[in-house]
Structure 1
Amino acid sequence: MNLSLYQRLALSLVLVFVLMLWVFYWWSSELHQRTTLEAEQRLHIDLAAHLVHDNPLLAQGVYDYQGLENLFHTLMVLGPSFEFYYLDPQGRILTYSAEPQKIRRQSVNLAPILQLIEHPDTVPVLGDDPRNPNGRKIFSAAAVKHADQLQGYLYMIIGGEAYDSVFAKVRDSHGLQTIALWASLALAFLLVVLLGLFRFITRPLLRLTRSMQAFRSNQRLPAADNWCATSHNEVHQLGCAFKQMTTQINSQFEQLQQLDQQRRTLLADLSHDLRTPLANLQGYIETLALNDQHLSSEERRRFVEISLKNARNLKRLIDQIFELAYLEGGQVTLNQEAFPLGELLYDVVAKFSLKANDKGVKLEIVPGQCQYQVFADIAKLERVLTNLLENALRHTPKGGRVIIRMLLGKDSVRVEVEDTGVGIGRNELAYIFDARYRASNSREDKSLHAGLGLAISKKLMALLESDLRVKSELGKGTCFSFDLKQVF
């Protein structure tokens, strides 16, 4: 049988409540009985001794058993809660005031009698009940002596059979039953209140359990699942934390789905880009292999150059794919050091000076002389500058300018690569760092471009704990910028 937490708590509460009620009832009954017996026995402990001392039949040692029986009968009429017995020194019952058929014992154990006579402070002491073969009751006892000779014992049962009968009737009376009924109702009401309190306490936990089950089933929380973030209830705090966690998990899951879709699109695009140079390379090589004897040296040399160009484009594309994969996989190590930024900028510009002259584009470094020391990975920074300059020259027409500008900050140096090219539309700026994205106004040249340069540069700058930013306006040019740590 599967029980909920509330049901288990409620069942446990009922069982514990019943057990505590029984223990309390047993303990209170035992305590009440013991204190009643002790009080009764202390109150009448000397009664037997007074009767022996004041009664002529017992004081003079004259054992008129018929007279004693009449005396006992008279005393029982005056005190119906007492039973009187006269015992010999061995504990045998010699006379009593009762109907013979009611006496179930012929003798009484003397050990409790001697204990009470010698140590009266040890009450309550229970002795044998002559009317019950297995019963024991409190009593008062005294030794009967004549001329210092022990003649027997006066044995008085306190709370005899008549007392028990009357007490049982009173206990079973309507008044006591009414009191017991009200006490039971009060306890039942208390139990219901406690069960309601348990229900109130465990209700948020039940809500949280249902929310977890719903999230496990469909990855979504119930629409009405609102938790009080300012509550001091730990379950509400746990519910808020769980809701935040599920929101983050859903967001990450959606990002993973988008990333997976982007990877699929990137793979399809790259497959197409790889197919083009491979097909060209294969075609020209087959032409050389099949028509080698019929080709002139000029044609053969032109086919070889075209094949080499396609092979270089293919290698370049594969290198970029591997580089982006390593960056996304976090498999890149940094070798950062302090170096003069100006020297690196002039080295990079020198690589593109011939290409810039051929296109009629002017390359500038502003300021022309600088002694800024920065802390970065030279190879990674050179790769970023190379990508940015390559893009700038590709999209800048003849007569344009590409400026590399350095701006000194408080503890950093900002590097800007600005061109006067075609620019990028405002609605496309947010996507230019995505792999394989190409702006609608991209300029084509004779080289193959995979569209991975800016994506690689963005990730490289993130590794260098910087951010690659862009500003652009259609028809006026584009400016990429990033910050580097300055070394003093």
Structure 2
Amino acid sequence: MKSMTLYQKLAWSLVLIFSLLCALVLNWSKQLEQSSVHHAQQNLHLQLAEHLVHDNPLIQQGVYDYKALENLFHTLMILGPAFEFYFVDPEGHLLTYSAKPGQVVRQQINLSPIQQLLDNPTATPIYGDDPRSNDGVKIFSTAPVYNQQQLQGYLYVIIGGQAYDTTLKNIKANDNLWLAAMWFVAALVALFIAMLLLFRFFTLPLKKLNKELNKIEAANYSLTKMSLDSSYTADDEIGNLSKGVNAMLARIDEQFQSLQQADKQRRELLTHLSHDLRTPLSSLHGFLEVINKPDSHLNVPEQRHYLNLAMDNCQQLKHLIEQIFELANLECGQVKIQSETFNLGELIYDCVAKLALTAQSAGISLRVIPEICDFTVTADIAKLERVLTNLIENAIRHTPSGGEIAVKVSQQSDQLYVAVSDTGVGIHEDELNAIFEPHYQARNSIKRGSTGLGLAICKQLLTLMDSEINVSSTLGKGSEFRFNLAMQAPA
């Protein structure tokens, strides 16, 4: 079964509450009206019974002839059909009355209301037993009847008797009263319709928002296919809800796009890894297979040559795996910085000395500018050495024989700028931002054992040290990689 909408729930709730309130108001107004009428009538006829007792000799001298008294009551009812007359003894038993035979169903009444009205006439309305009903009550007028100062009973006059009720009921059925009731009902219906329209107006933004969310859900929460309508921008609860849903969906879409990009990068990384690992493994397998052939008839120098090639491929494979793990740790945030204060010039000369033989064998000269490089910095010395080594090795790989590599240090305010420049092949302008991506290699790069991970590792390490690396290059003339370090203030 389909569940009700918010508007339907509010509408039905309004119907139930409205109906209950109408019933309560009508019942309360009816009771209030009846109480007011009874109060007025009882006050108006409060001394009726007393006047009848004092003005009628038959009652004033004591009642002995109940038949004559019955005829008197009958005569009085003809003159006042809205009244019913009863004479009761001091115990509440009905002695005589004005009703026809069979109309009186109660032969004794409770005297407590009579005594209450006699003691406190201002406490109206006070209701006494209706002899014509087993459980009904009516307003009344009463007076005690004495004979030689001895209580004979009470004259008990019902105000608004059965004849009165019948006549009043017929009057209420009059067309004018029905017309008034119809106008009252029409006013209530108009109010009800107005309330429904107000509920409709208040819940319409929620309905629109729900409709838009259903469309987003149908589009698999992709904002590229469907965008949320943010036309409702009122500064209220629904407006804030709409803005919050917009922000939440934008954030979900951003994370979804990020996950898609991460998945794409993961697939590309696996592709690059399989390719990078396959090359040295295939070479290593080939050289070992040549050496292991029983009919190869290789002499000792040839065997040593193939073993050296196999060792080179093992070393390249080891280096590649180490870089892969290093980059993975950096991207996962598992690498911590351990800062210390040291001399930057000494570190640069150590890195240059470590790679001097490699540069010399490639016909490339290495130098430090300025030669006296005496600067003190606070950083992670091991990671900074890794950055300088990667940048110098990268420059050696992309610089042809006869070229030059320079490590330059300059000071600007409280910052030191370290630059590694070369006179190599340079980088295309459209590739300057892409070279820091893992496994990316420029189109014109000279591959000398490159894995394509060195620059990516450099960028991650410098980011951890709150530094930024930039590159400038001229195609065919060389490149320069530059990063900043905070200079240690002199003691």
Matched, 1:425 2:428: yes
1:291 shift after superposition: 5.0
Cα distance between partner residues in 2 of 1:114 and 1:121: 13
Measured against aligned partners, the alpha-carbon deviations of 1:60-106 in whole angstroms (never above 9, x if no partner) come to: 22544454344434433443322221222232323333323433333
Mapped contact 1:73–1:97 kept (Cα < 8 A): yes
Corresponding residue number in structure 2 for 1:318: 321
> 1:353 is matched by which residue type in structure 2?
A
> 1:368 is matched by which residue type in structure 2?
E
Corresponding residue number in structure 2 for 1:464: 465
Measured against aligned partners, the alpha-carbon deviations of 1:227-261 in whole angstroms (never above 9, x if no partner) come to: 14742132232222222322332233233223322
Corresponding residue number in structure 2 for 1:201: 202
Q: Call closer, same or farther: CA 1:340–1:118 in 2, change over 3 Å.
A: same
Corresponding residue number in structure 2 for 1:290: 293
Cα distance between partner residues in 2 of 1:413 and 1:450: 30
List runs of 5+ in structure 2 lacking aligned partners.
none
1:47 shift after superposition: 2.4
Mapped contact 1:228–1:237 kept (Cα < 8 A): no
Matched, 1:148 2:146: no
Aligned residue for 2:96, secondary structure, equals strand
Corresponding residue number in structure 2 for 1:14: 15
Cα distance between partner residues in 2 of 1:321 and 1:436: 10
Matched, 1:272 2:254: no
**217-226 or 343-352: bigger deviation:** 217-226
Corresponding residue number in structure 1 for 2:213: 212
Corresponding residue number in structure 2 for 1:27: 28
Measured against aligned partners, the alpha-carbon deviations of 1:115-144 in whole angstroms (never above 9, x if no partner) come to: 222233443322121222332111111110
Mapped contact 2:205–2:232 kept (Cα < 8 A): no
Q: Call closer, same or farther: CA 1:340–1:199 in 2, change over 3 Å.
A: farther
**376-385 or 259-268: bigger deviation:** 259-268
Q: Call closer, same or farther: CA 1:371–1:192 in 2, change over 3 Å.
A: farther
Mapped contact 2:290–2:296 kept (Cα < 8 A): no
Matches within 5 A, 1:392-471: 392-445=395-448, 448-471=449-472
Cα distance between partner residues in 1 of 2:482 and 2:79: 119
List runs of 5+ in structure 1 lacking aligned partners.
none
1:175 shift after superposition: 1.4
Q: Call closer, same or farther: CA 1:238–1:369 in 2, change over 3 Å.
A: farther
Matched, 1:483 2:491: no
Q: Call closer, same or farther: CA 1:225–1:315 in 2, change over 3 Å.
A: closer
Corresponding residue number in structure 1 for 2:116: 115
Corresponding residue number in structure 2 for 1:391: 394
Mapped contact 1:416–1:481 kept (Cα < 8 A): yes
1:157 shift after superposition: 0.4
Measured against aligned partners, the alpha-carbon deviations of 1:206-237 in whole angstroms (never above 9, x if no partner) come to: 23333333333422358473114742132232
Mapped contact 2:216–2:228 kept (Cα < 8 A): no
Mapped contact 1:143–1:150 kept (Cα < 8 A): yes
Matched, 1:169 2:170: yes
1:452 shift after superposition: 1.0
1:19 shift after superposition: 1.4
**419-428 or 42-51: bigger deviation:** 42-51
Corresponding residue number in structure 1 for 2:303: 300
Q: Call closer, same or farther: CA 1:336–1:207 in 2, change over 3 Å.
A: farther
Cα distance between partner residues in 1 of 2:232 and 2:451: 49
| Aligned structure 1 segments of 4 or more residues deviating by more than 4 angstroms | 221-224
Aligned residue for 1:416, secondary structure, equals strand
Measured against aligned partners, the alpha-carbon deviations of 1:152-197 in whole angstroms (never above 9, x if no partner) come to: 1110101111221221122221111111112112212222222222
The alignment covers a number of residue pairs equal to 486
Q: Call closer, same or farther: CA 1:224–1:482 in 2, change over 3 Å.
A: closer
Mapped contact 1:428–1:439 kept (Cα < 8 A): yes
TM score, norm. by length of structure 2? 0.91
Cα distance between partner residues in 2 of 1:360 and 1:69: 149
Cα distance between partner residues in 1 of 2:29 and 2:169: 18
Cα distance between partner residues in 1 of 2:301 and 2:323: 33
Cα distance between partner residues in 1 of 2:163 and 2:87: 19
> 1:397 is matched by which residue type in structure 2?
P
Measured against aligned partners, the alpha-carbon deviations of 1:365-409 in whole angstroms (never above 9, x if no partner) come to: 333344433332222221111111111122223443323233334
Cα distance between partner residues in 1 of 2:419 and 2:233: 47
Corresponding residue number in structure 2 for 1:61: 62
Matches within 5 A, 1:122-133: 122-133=123-134
Q: Call closer, same or farther: CA 1:465–1:46 in 2, change over 3 Å.
A: farther
Mapped contact 1:90–1:110 kept (Cα < 8 A): yes
**217-226 or 424-433: bigger deviation:** 217-226
Aligned residue for 1:120, secondary structure, equals coil
> 1:434 is matched by which residue type in structure 2?
E
Corresponding residue number in structure 1 for 2:88: 87
